[in-house]
Amino acid sequence: MKSLKITLLISLFCWISFFSKAQNTDTLNLINALKKQLTLCKNDTCRLNTLFQLHYLQQAITGELNEKNAATFDINYTKQAIRLAGELGKYDTLKSLTVDLGYIYDLTKNFDSSFVYYNDCLNLFEATNNYQLTFSIAQNILYNNSMLQNIIEENNKRALEQTKKINLLTYIIIGVLLFLLLFMVYFIFQIRKNNTLLKNQKTQIEYSKNQIDSSINYAQNLQLAILSNEQKLQLCLKNSFVLFLAKDKVSGDFLWNYQEGSIKYVAVVDCTGHGVPGALLSIVGHLLLDTIMLEGHNQTPSEILEKLHRAVVKALNQENSEHNRDGMDIALIKIDLTARVLSFSGAHRPLYLVRQNEMLEFKGTRRPLGGTQIKYNKPFVTSTVPILEEDVFYFYSDGYADQMGGDSGKKLLNANLKKLILKNHLLPMAEQRESLKSEFLKFKGKYSQTDDVLLVGIKP
In the beta sheet, which residues pair with residue 254?
Answer: 269
Residue-level pLDDT at 200? 79
Assess whether 326 and 446 both reside in one domain. Answer: yes
Q: Indicate if the pLDDT at residue 72 is higher than 50.
A: yes
- Of 36-40, 42-46, 66-70, the poorest mean pLDDT is in 66-70
Assess whether 343 and 332 both reside in one domain. Answer: yes
Assess whether 266 and 340 both reside in one domain. Answer: yes
Backbone angles phi, psi at 403, to 5 degrees: -65, 135
Assess whether 214 and 280 both reside in one domain. Answer: no
Q: Indicate if the pLDDT at residue 358 is higher than 90.
A: yes
Assess whether 197 and 69 both reside in one domain. Answer: no
Mean pLDDT of 323-348: 92
Assess whether 242 and 204 both reside in one domain. Answer: no
Whole-number percent of the chain with pLDDT over 90: 38
Q: What is the pLDDT of residues 123-167, one digit of tens each?
A: 665 666 655 543 332 333 333 334 334 544 565 677 788 788 888
Whole-number percent of the chain with pLDDT over 70: 78
Assess whether 308 and 394 both reside in one domain. Answer: yes
d(CA 254, CA 304): 17
Residue 11 resides in a domain: no
Assess whether 71 and 43 both reside in one domain. Answer: yes
Q: Indicate if the pLDDT at residue 203 is higher than 70.
A: yes
Could you tell me the pLDDT band of residue 354, with boundaries at 50, 70 and 90?
A: very high
Helix (H, G, I), strand (E, B) or coil at 96: helix
Mean pLDDT of 196-216: 72
Residue-level pLDDT at 133? 44
Higher pLDDT, 71 or 434: 434
Task: Select from 207, 226, 245 the last residue of a domain.
Answer: 226
d(CA 314, CA 309): 9
Residue-level pLDDT at 47? 86
d(CA 433, CA 421): 10
- Of 33-42, 307-316, 326-335, 401-410, the poorest mean pLDDT is in 33-42
Q: Indicate if the pLDDT at residue 12 is higher than 60.
A: no
Could you tell me the pLDDT band of residue 215, with boundaries at 50, 70 and 90?
A: low
Residue 219's Cβ-count burial label (10 Å; 0-12, 13-18, 19+) is middle
Residue-level pLDDT at 53? 87
pTM value is 0.56
Assess whether 108 and 148 both reside in one domain. Answer: no
Higher pLDDT, 37 or 373: 37
Residue 14 resides in a domain: no
Pairing of strands 253-260, 351-355: unpaired
d(CA 368, CA 456): 20
Q: Indicate if the pLDDT at residue 221 is higher than 70.
A: no
Work out the mean pLDDT of the chain and round it to a whole number: 81
Residue-level pLDDT at 442? 95
Q: Is 373 left (phi over 0), alpha (psi -120 to 50) or beta?
A: beta
Residue 136 resides in a domain: no
Assess whether 73 and 214 both reside in one domain. Answer: no
- Of 31-35, 105-109, 210-214, the poorest mean pLDDT is in 210-214
Higher pLDDT, 33 or 307: 307
Higher pLDDT, 255 or 114: 255
Residue-level pLDDT at 129? 60
d(CA 302, CA 145): 98
Angle of CA points 352, 355, 358, to nearest 5°: 80
- Of 182-191, 216-225, 366-375, the poorest mean pLDDT is in 216-225
Angle of CA points 51, 54, 57, to nearest 5°: 150
Residue-level pLDDT at 444? 94
Task: Select from 226, 242, 260 the last residue of a domain.
Answer: 226
Residue-level pLDDT at 125? 57
Residue-level pLDDT at 275? 66
Backbone angles phi, psi at 354, to 5 degrees: -100, 115
Mean pLDDT of 71-91: 82
d(CA 354, CA 175): 91
- Of 8-17, 78-87, 253-262, 329-338, the poorest mean pLDDT is in 8-17
Residue type, 151: I
Residue 277 resides in a domain: yes
Residues 6+ apart with CB under 8 A from 129: none
Mean pLDDT of 89-118: 73
Mean pLDDT of 336-360: 96
Residue type, 399: G
Assess whether 111 and 37 both reside in one domain. Answer: yes
Residue-level pLDDT at 367? 87
Helix (H, G, I), strand (E, B) or coil at 41: coil
Task: Select from 226, 250, 283 the last residue of a domain.
Answer: 226
Whether the Cβ atoms of residue 436 and residue 243 lie closer than 8 Å to each other: yes
Residue 112's Cβ-count burial label (10 Å; 0-12, 13-18, 19+) is exposed
d(CA 433, CA 459): 13
Q: Indicate if the pLDDT at residue 183 is higher than 90.
A: no
CA-CA-CA-CA torsion for 75, 77, 79, 82, nearest 10 degrees?
Answer: -130
Helix (H, G, I), strand (E, B) or coil at 321: coil
Residue-level pLDDT at 413? 95
Expressed as residue numbers, the domain containing 347 is 227-458
Task: Could you list the beta-strand ranges (E) of 33-116.
Answer: none
Assess whether 280 and 410 both reside in one domain. Answer: yes
Q: With b meaning 16 or more CB within 10 Å and e meaning fewer, what string describes 297-322?
A: eebbbbbbbbbbbebbbeebebeeee
d(CA 451, CA 444): 12
d(CA 344, CA 332): 6
Residue 301 resides in a domain: yes
d(CA 19, CA 375): 67
Could you tell me the pLDDT band of residue 4, with boundaries at 50, 70 and 90?
A: very low
State how many domains the chain has. 3
Which one-letter DSSP state was computed for residue 246? Answer: -
Q: Indicate if the pLDDT at residue 318 is higher than 70.
A: yes
